[in-house]
Amino acid sequence: MPLFALRRLPAFVPVAATAFAAAPVQADTTNTTSADTTLPAVSVSASSALNQGVAPRAVDPNLPASVETLTRDQFSNWNVVNTEDVLKYMPNLAVRKRFIGDLNSIIAVRGTSNTQSARGLVYADGLLLSNLLGNSFSFPPRWSMVFPDEVQQVDVIYGPYSALYPGNSLGATVLITTRMPKKFEAEADVKAFTQHFSLYGVNQNFNGSEASASIGNRIGKFSFLLGVNHLENTSQPLQFATLARSATPAKAGDTPVTGAYFYNNQTNTPTAILGMNGEGIEHTVQDQFKLKMQYDFTPTLQGGFTLGYWHQTYNSETSSFLRDANGNPVYSGKVSIDGYEYTIPAAAFAPSLGHSENWLYGVTLKTRNAAGWNGEAIASYYDIGNSVARLANTGAPGNGAGTVTFGDGTGWKTLDLRSTYTPASTQAGLFNHTLAFGYHYDNYFLDNESYSTNNWRDGAARSFANAFAGKTQTQALYAQDAWRFLPRWKLVYGVRYEDWRAYDGSQALPGTTVALADASQQHFSPKASLSFDVSDDLTLRASVGRAYRFPTVSELFQGQINGSSIINNNPNLKPEDDLSKELTAEWAHWNGIFRFSLFQDDVKNTIFSQTDTTVIPNVTNFQNIGKVRSRGVETSYAGEDVFVRGLDLLASVAYTQSKIVANAQNPASVGKYFYRIPLWRVNVAATYRFDERAALTLAARYSGRQYNTLTNADTNPDVFGGTSSYTVADAKFTFRPTKLSEVGIGVDNIFDARYFVYHPYPGRTFYVEAKLRM
């Protein structure tokens, strides 16, 4: 099907394109100084607050949702190595980042856990970075297509209350705005970091470094920014090989070994740790190239082009702690530990490695009129090329047999057309409407093939093992109106129509290929928000919105084949059906902005990997959970010059109760807390600027009790395999010897807390940084 083709869409499809074409008709060329005047949806300052000189909060007054904003000036004094680090102190939000350079950094917010990646959207300058090929930690946003030094501002929109964004906004939408130079500039940045980590017999230092450089200029109507980034790091141990403590006496012929560690696991089951497996200690090398160009065709028409390249390699080091009588490592077979027999699988300590190349192409065209009609067109293509993952069959040293998986030909493409109308007057009345119309298209495609190989490290593919493939496509039309019908009252209402289909799904084994049935859904998602300005400083808002989160390719089609029977996949998944409600008060006071929000999300047909306990044998795959309800309260404050001049403060406290209301496939989970949603989140970051040259930041993050199972059976959370409560403190001192140089010294996890998200999180980590600019 052609990229622009429509399937069963209403007759008003041409609205967006027609409005875009008509945009110049009402052009207002009196305001042509800013490149970011109108269309970026979340770049307008809250007028009453900023007019009083308080902390910047870039909230679009026409956005029917709670928005939190961070600027470059704020996070420049934090320990930021990867782009997702700028979100670390946002209200009721956390990023599952296990180490610097982690490829699996997922957003968790409100009632969305850190494995539900398809419930969050990340855009960079309008280009979609969300990896909606799946819904787990394996499908994080492509943060590495943005290097931290180019980030100018980040806006987080909570919930699915705007018709401008798809149902994947159920959790949150992150809008990253990057900078473009206004004159010649060049910058270089070097960081080094280290942590000492001790756990279960591992006791050593793990080090890394990052270097970046950029150069840019504006020459007449043309501007560009070119950046490169190189990251290399070695993680702390991430995963351990375990077996339940044995009650079987050892037999003659079992190999006596030493070196095992014993502990009670997350369900308080006595467990033996035999070594490191899976990801083990991961070494990663990542290289990035980014080119952005803009050209002002006229004072009100701007075009842009983005080319991003990201290459990464990883090597997961595993090891056995077990030693025989001669001190040699033992990797498999029947062994005797303290007089009891254990059977170690051949693949217990199997190492892995891999690499991939990622390309992002983006084109934008937009008008920038101060009032009247504006139009915007954004097209992007994300290509995952030369993707190879290799896994050994055994943990024994050497280059033995294994499996190689190719993910070439996987990626996504998007198209967004939007037209907006802004009235020239802010006078309230019948015709004071701010309008937005748009069309959205995305196409996600996944193709994985696995082969056996005689040399798992670098051998050629030998014989076909298995494969799965599939595609999803979504087309959407939306309209939204912000109507200030009285001086203090505003109604924002809209609707989004989405036409989704999944097709070309297949799974294969040698000699067996099974085509999976296509699926399609069409839904309308209405939204509405009513706000009242109690005073110039206080605004009350009530919002409600329906959203549909459609299944991803992997949820529908990924699985295995046993003979001619398909297992572990579910091509009949229903979309998640959410009804979200929010009551919010925003108050500009004490040189800052307070926000208080009550929210509730009722999600029917939540898509989650679980075990169906109502059939024999039990089946584990992605299933629809009948209903999950999340309700809670958020309070946040952001201010400048708080109490004393030079002290900036971000602070938030959030309580979320997320429970399973209905689950026919696993009745024991009903009434239990949903997976990995902490009851409390508290974040504080205070930066004191001594003068223009020096600043000190002290920060803390707290996450409360949460569960790693749907039945809440994990009663011992603060061990490997559990999901911990934690309190972590951070600090950074920044000094600028000259206007063109900067040095920084920082530490994360000051008190070396040992906490877990199944995997251990990092220990105390020290940073040193040096920057030069011109």
User: Mean pLDDT across the stretch 577-591?
Assistant: 96
Each residue's pLDDT tens digit, 395-416: 888 889 999 999 988 999 999 9
| Assigned domain for 8 exists | no
- The answer to whether the CB of 467 falls within 8 A of the CB of 448 is yes
| Assigned domain for 6 exists | no
Separation of alpha carbons 468 and 553, rounded Å: 10
Query: Binning pLDDT at 50, 70 and 90, where does residue 32 land?
Result: very low
pLDDT at 409: 84
- The answer to whether the CB of 545 falls within 8 A of the CB of 527 is yes
**270-298 and 565-567 beta bridge pairing:** unpaired
**489-509 and 512-515 beta bridge pairing:** antiparallel
| Assigned domain for 1 exists | no
Query: Binning pLDDT at 50, 70 and 90, where does residue 46 land?
Result: very low
- CA-nearest of 146, 135, 212, 104 to 362 is 146
- CA-nearest of 607, 584, 580, 585 to 526 is 580
**66-71 and 151-158 beta bridge pairing:** antiparallel
pLDDT at 426: 65
Tokens of 256: 């006596």
| Assigned domain for 394 exists | yes
| Assigned domain for 766 exists | yes
Q: Is the pLDDT of residue 559 over 80?
A: no
Each residue's pLDDT tens digit, 309-355: 999 999 999 999 999 999 999 999 999 999 999 999 999 999 999 99
* Cis-peptide into 10, omega within 30 deg: no
Separation of alpha carbons 299 and 287, rounded Å: 36
Q: Is the pLDDT of residue 17 over 50?
A: no
For 551-613, the DSSP string reads PPHHHHH--EEETTEEES--TTPPPEEEEEEEEEEEEEETTEEEEEEEEEEEEEEEEEEEEET
- The answer to whether the CB of 365 falls within 8 A of the CB of 23 is no
Each residue's pLDDT tens digit, 510-519: 988 888 889 9
- CA-nearest of 79, 288, 100, 313 to 206 is 100
Secondary structure string (H, E, C) spanning 396-425: CCCCCCEEEEECCCEEEEEEEEEEEEECCC
Separation of alpha carbons 197 and 237, rounded Å: 8
| Assigned domain for 509 exists | yes
How many residues in total does the chain contain?
774
Burial classification of residue 100, based on how many CB atoms lie within 10 Å of its CB (0-12 exposed, 13-18 middle, 19 or more buried):
buried
| Assigned domain for 281 exists | yes
Each residue's pLDDT tens digit, 224-239: 999 999 999 999 999 9
Domain containing residue 199: 15-773
- CA-nearest of 73, 188, 204 to 769 is 188
Separation of alpha carbons 527 and 497, rounded Å: 11
| Residue 762 belongs to domain with CATH number | 2.40.170.20
| Assigned domain for 3 exists | no
Tokens of 611: 């075990």
Each residue's pLDDT tens digit, 690-702: 999 999 999 999 9
Number of domains in the chain: 1
pLDDT at 566: 41
Secondary structure string (H, E, C) spanning 453-491: ECCCCCCCCCEEEEEEEEEEEEEEEEEEEEEEEECCEEE
